[in-house]
């Protein structure tokens, strides 16, 4: 580690650990206003005392408001710290933090309450040096996991120099600190089938089977799956449902398809393949294809390279930009803030599952990495 390397003090690490435990203790699945308000109230208490706090409209309807904090300084750089407090775990399945050695299990611990705890700690650290920045922004949203509406907040940070997002961190195969500088575009297709019901025993051929039509549509879409190909296209039929009674030709049904690629322009090809199955389906079935969720891709390799090189020198260990397939709110900012870097959160695993965990020692390591990036940005 270099002589100027940032050090996460024992006080800082203890605060991150305490904030992680307190946040994970709160059940806050997407759409749960009470849980989101409780989590954001805790975050508001842990933000710098000099911050101006505002609850701003969420991108998704029927959600409570997001939290926006701004700290004014006397320097010249403007940096956004980004995170979300919602999880995918329903309240009935929520698990508070349980520490077993270095493995700390809990709902939302790595996605991304551990990252939020680190963002809060970094905000407090930077706020003690207001001469190093012009403005520090912290945006915590409540709908990242299930949002299907357009993202509402990019315009608020026009002219910012960098966006640092605290989704889960990782190590590269060689042991370097990994941060995310490239993500695929992500889309969700909804395929609705409208057929005709009939008695499955006495008159089955009078029906038009929505289930069979959706099965053919799912197969046609999946045939385009080619993540190693030119477009890095992945196509995963993820949910299907049709019919009601067991002795009736199903007249209605729905298929959901997860689509990811380097560019969202590839989504139209998948939609077209689904529509083209109509001629092969049972007579009388009509398919409707709708893109219900579309998040942009992210590629900040060129803009981030000088920063990662300089921050590696400051940290005393290598920081490497990596690609990741999952979607993130950082992708929305990448087109407006060229230096957008994600994956600054702690390391862990099993996100979205009962076994979700944070690797305890990584809290200190990732705190030092975040400090190195921010200090290099503002130097």
Q: How many residues does the chain have?
A: 379
Which residue range forms the structural domain that includes residue 281? Answer: 186-295
Report residue 293 as tokens: 């969720």
Establish if 369 belongs to a structural domain.
yes
User: Do 164 and 201 fall into the same domain?
Assistant: no
User: Do 91 and 240 fall into the same domain?
Assistant: no
Q: Are 346 and 168 in contact (CB under 8 A)?
A: yes
pLDDT of res. 278: 76
User: Do 163 and 214 fall into the same domain?
Assistant: no
User: Do 284 and 331 fall into the same domain?
Assistant: no
Domain limit, last residue, from 295, 320, 347: 295
Domain limit, last residue, from 295, 321, 346: 295
Tokens 């690629």 locate to 261
User: Do 123 and 59 fall into the same domain?
Assistant: yes
pLDDT of res. 185: 95
Report residue 174 as tokens: 């060689």
Establish if 1 belongs to a structural domain.
no
User: Do 177 and 239 fall into the same domain?
Assistant: no
User: Do 230 and 326 fall into the same domain?
Assistant: no
- In sequence order, which residues have a C-beta less than 8 Å from that of residue 84 and are 6 or more positions away? 112, 116, 140, 141, 142, 143, 144, 145, 329
Beta strand segments in the chain, E: 52-56, 66-72, 78-84, 98-100, 103-105, 135-141, 162-165, 170-171, 177-183, 185-194, 234-242, 252-261, 286-295, 298-299, 319-324, 340-341, 348-349, 357-359
Q: Are 109 and 368 in contact (CB under 8 A)?
A: no
User: Do 283 and 349 fall into the same domain?
Assistant: no
CATH number at residue 204: 3.30.70.360
Establish if 3 belongs to a structural domain.
no
User: Do 301 and 337 fall into the same domain?
Assistant: yes
pLDDT of res. 135: 97
User: Do 238 and 121 fall into the same domain?
Assistant: no
User: Do 124 and 14 fall into the same domain?
Assistant: yes
Residue 104 pairs in a beta bridge with 99, 358
| CA–CA dist 104, 202 (Å, integer) | 58
Would you write out the chain's pLDDT as a tens digit for each of its 379 residues?
454 788 888 999 999 999 999 999 999 999 999 999 999 999 999 999 999 999 999 999 999 999 999 999 999 999 999 999 999 998 899 999 999 999 999 999 999 999 999 999 999 999 999 999 999 999 999 999 989 899 999 999 999 999 999 999 999 999 999 999 999 999 999 999 999 999 999 999 999 999 999 999 999 999 999 999 999 999 999 999 999 999 999 999 999 999 999 999 999 999 999 999 876 555 789 999 999 999 999 999 999 999 999 999 999 999 999 999 888 999 999 999 999 999 999 999 999 999 999 999 999 999 999 999 999 999 8
Q: What total number of domains does the chain contain?
A: 2
CATH number at residue 76: 3.40.630.10
Establish if 2 belongs to a structural domain.
no
Tokens 């349980």 locate to 98
pLDDT of res. 85: 98
How far is residue 206 CA from its own chain's centroid?
Answer: 46
């Amino acid at each position: 580690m270099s002589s100027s390397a940032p050090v996460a003090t024992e006080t800082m690490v203890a605060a991150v650990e305490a904030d992680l435990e307190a946040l994970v203790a709160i059940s806050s699945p997407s759409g749960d206003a009470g849980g989101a308000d409780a989590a954001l109230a805790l975050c508001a208490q842990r933000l710098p005392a000099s911050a101006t706090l505002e609850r701003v409209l969420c991108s998704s309807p029927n959600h409570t408001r997001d939290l926006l904090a701004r700290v004014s300084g006397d320097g010249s750089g403007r940096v956004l710290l980004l995170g979300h407090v919602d999880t995918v775990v329903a309240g009935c399945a929520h698990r508070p933090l349980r520490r077993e050695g270095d493995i700390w299990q809990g709902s939302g611990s790595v996605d991304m309450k551990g990252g939020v705890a680190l963002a809060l700690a970094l905000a407090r650290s930077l706020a003690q040096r207001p001469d190093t920045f012009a403005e520090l922004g912290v945006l915590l949203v409540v709908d990242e996991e299930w949002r299907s509406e357009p993202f509402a907040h990019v315009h608020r940070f026009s002219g910012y120099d960098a966006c640092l997002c605290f989704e889960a961190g990782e190590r590269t195969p060689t042991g370097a600190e990994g941060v995310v500088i490239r993500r695929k575009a992500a889309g969700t297709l909804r395929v609705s089938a409208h057929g005709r019901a009939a008695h499955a025993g006495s008159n089955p051929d009078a029906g038009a089977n929505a289930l069979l039509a959706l099965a053919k549509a799912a197969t046609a879409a999946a045939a385009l799956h080619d993540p190693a190909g030119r477009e890095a296209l992945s196509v995963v039929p993820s949910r299907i449902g049709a019919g009601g009674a067991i002795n009736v030709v199903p007249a209605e049904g729905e298929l959901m398809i997860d689509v990811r690629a380097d560019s969202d322009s590839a989504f139209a090809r998948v939609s077209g393949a689904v529509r083209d199955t109509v001629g092969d389906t049972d007579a009388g079935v009509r398919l409707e294809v709708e893109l219900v969720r579309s998040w942009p891709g992210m590629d900040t390799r060129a803009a981030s390279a000088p920063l990662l090189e300089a921050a590696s020198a400051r940290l005393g260990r290598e920081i490497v930009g990596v690609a990741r397939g999952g979607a993130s709110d950082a992708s929305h900012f990448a087109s407006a803030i060229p230096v957008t870097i994600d994956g600054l959160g702690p390391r862990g695993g099993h996100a979205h599952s009962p076994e979700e965990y944070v690797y305890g020692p990584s809290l200190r390591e990732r705190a030092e990495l975040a400090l190195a990036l921010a200090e290099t940005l503002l130097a």
